[in-house]
Amino acid sequence: MHPYLLLLAPALLLAVQLLIRLYQIWASPLASVPGPWLARFTDLWYAWRIDRGQFERDNIALHQKHGPIVRYGAKRYSICDPLAAKVIYGHGCAFLKSSWYDSWGDPNPHKWSIFSDRDEKRHSANRRLYQNMYSMSSLVNYEHYVDECTSLFLQRMSEMSSRQGTAQPVDMGHWFQCYAFDVIGMITYSKRLGFLDHGQDVGDIIKNLENHLYYATEVGVYSSLHQYLAPIRNRLGKRGTGRQYIVEFTKQCLADHQSNPKAIVTDDLDSASEHHGTMDFLSKFIAKNTADNSSFTQYHVLAGCVANMVAGSDTTAISLSAILYHLLRNPDKLRILREEIDGFFSKKTGPATSINFQDSLGLPYLQAVIKEALRMHPATGLPIERVVPEGGAIISGKFFPDGVRKYLLSAKA
């Protein structure tokens, strides 16, 4: 056989595949949806903009230019329509998580996490096991832990503002992250992790969290790579890197707790809180495991603590930074907020050094500032993708065939 014929066969196969792909693109009911030209054929544009740290700005610009529905990948669509939220993310809806979530967890399907688990039945069962411990009525009991960290945070700010000599800039984003991590440490383990004490990244936790967030966001675009890359990352260094490093750090915190256990009443967690003070999350997890280790296993204990570390710290720091940033950009709004807070303290009888959650509900301008900052700069500025269920769906007046990924843009364009 002539060697050219051997080359011709794969070339023809490739050409046929290309023609089929082009037909699927142009014959699709979504062919008219605007977006970057490259995004019609591949997800490379999306991965590139993530790598450049520009996607959230690009996406808003696309909506401003083209309207409520735009494409950002081969089968990825962004929808800027508040009414679509209930359709896509509503409780009990049929829009399941996309494979993008896989890179946020362990490739071992048995090592699930609440955020990344795509097994809807298992996710719902595990969420029910945790939900009472994360209810608002439960969380407000941790305010004294938060107050302790707030006092130390303000002390550090005061120390830096009173330095002698030339004034030095302060990276508030870094200090908010130190504050957030120590708050997470207090409510999870009843101890600060030392970020505010030292003013630096203790044990490279922040570094590895950022490593995990970058990896999960970028690799999530091509999630099939995760099963091959994750085992390699887990073997880097003594503790692995990224999420695995945080898992190993959490295991050490659990070991420290077990070497110095607290008295726990297993029959009634509420009673335990009343008699021994507010139980930290780890104590609650262990108490629940002791009471019923068949449904709430040792892995549930570890997974809950890891979730606090990964999900609680960075989002809190981002939100606090966004609030301060927009207030400083709008000094007239900052003045109004200060007047409201000053008015609150002027009416208080007795010593009052902080505003608790219940107090904050009575400060309408503070509530408006928080909500507007979160709208302007959500902690998650990237797609939280869902997949169209079998049979397709009509969203914002457009029919989406099944299998197509899409998400709701958090900030209005």
**Domain CATH for 335:** 1.10.630.10
Range of the domain at 340: 131-376
Asked if 346 contacts 338 with a C-beta cutoff of 8 angstroms, the reply is no
| CA distance linking residue 373 with residue 259, whole number of Å | 42
pLDDT tens string 138-168? 999 999 999 999 999 999 999 998 877 677 8
Q: How many domains does the chain divide into?
A: 2
Are 293 and 401 part of one and the same domain?
no
Are 348 and 392 part of one and the same domain?
no
Token code pair at residue 94: 């049929």
Are 357 and 404 part of one and the same domain?
no
**Three-state DSSP class for residue 19:** helix
Average confidence (pLDDT) over 187-193: 92
Q: What is the pTM of this model?
A: 0.86
- Write the DSSP assignment of 147-207 as a string of letters: HHHHHHHHHHHHHHHT-SSS-----HHHHHHHHHHHHHHHHHHSS--SHHHHTS-GGGHHH
**What is the distance of C-alpha 322 from the center of its chain?**
15
| CA distance linking residue 85 with residue 76, whole number of Å | 17
**pLDDT recorded at residue 234:** 85
Are 338 and 396 part of one and the same domain?
no
Higher pLDDT, 357 or 234: 357
Alpha-carbon distance values, 106 to 220, 231, 269, 307, 317 (Å): 13, 9, 30, 13, 25
- Write the DSSP assignment of 27-76 as a string of letters: HSTTTT----GGGGT-SHHHHHHHHTT-HHHHHHHHHHHH-SEEEEETTE
* Nearest partner of 231 among 246, 214, 243, 249, judged by Cα: 243
Q: Which helix (H) or strand (E) holds 77?
A: strand 76-79
pLDDT at 354 > cutoff 70? yes
Are 136 and 88 part of one and the same domain?
no
Residues facing 399 on adjacent strands: 394
Q: Compute the mean pLDDT over every residue in the chain, rounded to the nearest whole number.
A: 86
Asked if 182 contacts 146 with a C-beta cutoff of 8 angstroms, the reply is no
Are 251 and 367 part of one and the same domain?
yes
**pLDDT recorded at residue 26:** 57
Asked if 359 contacts 344 with a C-beta cutoff of 8 angstroms, the reply is yes
Please, which pLDDT band fits residue 79 given cuts at 50, 70 and 90? very high
pLDDT at 55 > cutoff 80? yes
Q: Determine, yes or no, domain membership for 6.
A: no
Are 36 and 139 part of one and the same domain?
no
Please, which pLDDT band fits residue 62 given cuts at 50, 70 and 90? very high
Q: Determine, yes or no, domain membership for 16.
A: no
- DSSP H helices in 263-381: 269-276, 281-291, 298-307, 313-329, 331-346, 357-360, 364-376
Asked if 288 contacts 92 with a C-beta cutoff of 8 angstroms, the reply is no
Kindly report which listed range (145-149, 218-222, 310-314, 337-341) carries the lowest average pLDDT score.
310-314
List Cβ<8 Å contacts ≥24 apart for 144-147.
Answer: 144/278, 145/183, 145/186, 145/187, 145/190, 145/278, 145/280, 146/183, 146/186, 146/187, 147/354
Higher pLDDT, 298 or 256: 298
Residues facing 386 on adjacent strands: 97, 406
pLDDT at 71 > cutoff 80? yes
Are 366 and 393 part of one and the same domain?
no
pLDDT at 275 > cutoff 50? no
Q: Determine, yes or no, domain membership for 413.
A: no
pLDDT at 3 > cutoff 70? no
Are 355 and 397 part of one and the same domain?
no
pLDDT at 17 > cutoff 70? no
Residues facing 78 on adjacent strands: 70, 407
Are 151 and 64 part of one and the same domain?
no
Q: Determine, yes or no, domain membership for 15.
A: no
**pLDDT recorded at residue 276:** 43
Q: Determine, yes or no, domain membership for 119.
A: no
Please, which pLDDT band fits residue 284 given cuts at 50, 70 and 90? very high
Report the half-sphere exposure of 337 (CA within 13 A, side-chain side).
Answer: 16
Please, which pLDDT band fits residue 82 given cuts at 50, 70 and 90? confident
Are 279 and 321 part of one and the same domain?
yes
Average confidence (pLDDT) over 288-315: 93
Phi, then psi, of 171 in degrees rounded to 5: -80, 95
pLDDT tens string 363-388? 999 999 999 999 999 988 888 899 99
Q: Determine, yes or no, domain membership for 279.
A: yes
Residue 336's contacts (CB-CB under 8 Å, 6 or more residues apart) are 365
| Pairing label, strands 405-408, 76-79 | parallel
Q: Determine, yes or no, domain membership for 223.
A: yes
**pLDDT recorded at residue 18:** 60
| CA distance linking residue 306 with residue 385, whole number of Å | 22
* Nearest partner of 40 among 72, 67, 64, 66, judged by Cα: 72
pLDDT tens string 83-132? 888 888 887 778 999 999 999 999 998 999 999 999 999 999 999 999 99
Higher pLDDT, 348 or 269: 348
**pLDDT recorded at residue 175:** 97
**pLDDT recorded at residue 408:** 53
Are 207 and 86 part of one and the same domain?
no
**pLDDT recorded at residue 274:** 40
Kindly report which listed range (39-48, 159-168, 311-320) carries the lowest average pLDDT score.
159-168
Higher pLDDT, 8 or 301: 301
What percentage of the chain has pLDDT greater than the value 90? 60
Q: Determine, yes or no, domain membership for 118.
A: no
Please identify which residue in the block is written with the tokens 């902080």.
354
| CA distance linking residue 409 with residue 384, whole number of Å | 9
**pLDDT recorded at residue 322:** 97
**pLDDT recorded at residue 5:** 57
| CA pseudo-torsion sign 335, 320, 187, 258 | negative
Sheet of 386-387, strand order: 69-73, 76-79, 405-408, 386-387, 96-97
